[in-house]
Amino acid sequence: MLDDLSWRHAWPLTCGGIMFLGGLFHGFLKPQQSMQGWGVTDKIAASREAQIIFYGHSIRTSTLGLLVLVLCAQKNYTGVDTTMAIMGSYCGLTDVMIIWRYGIQKTAVVRFLSVLPIIFWGLAGMTAGPSL
């Protein structure tokens, strides 16, 4: 993997690593704090049942990050771009709409601004680069 590493791989590796580790550890080790970041009330976020359901969100995030890392390791850069475009536009924007409607609107704005580069990177095919 390291023999053809370029600047084009820095953003997907960073996003994939953060999503994989953040989804894995923050969602599982601190589910209450994670849910509060979505705007969930303290009472609900402290409930065992809500935390169990939230693990599904954590697994989704972690799986998408792991998928990006694996595709990079396989040198499937078109797959990386496709995954980033879909996870940013479908999962990311859905998260933003949910947080905007039911959570903390300031958080929704920040999250929206953080998914835009992921979406545009994937749609522009920046990891794969121009076809030769």
| pLDDT tens sequence for the chain (132 residues) | 557 778 899 999 999 999 999 988 888 899 999 888 888 889 999 999 999 999 988 999 999 999 999 999 999 999 999 999 999 999 999 989 988 998 788 889 999 999 999 999 999 999 998 754
What does pTM read for this prediction? 0.86
Residue 41, pLDDT score: 85
Sole residue written with tokens 């680069």: 129
b/e code 112-127 from CB counts within 10 Å (16+ = b)? beebeebbebbeebbb
Measured from the Cβ of residue 75, the count of other Cβ atoms closer than 10 Å reads 14
The two tokens of residue 60 are 């989704």
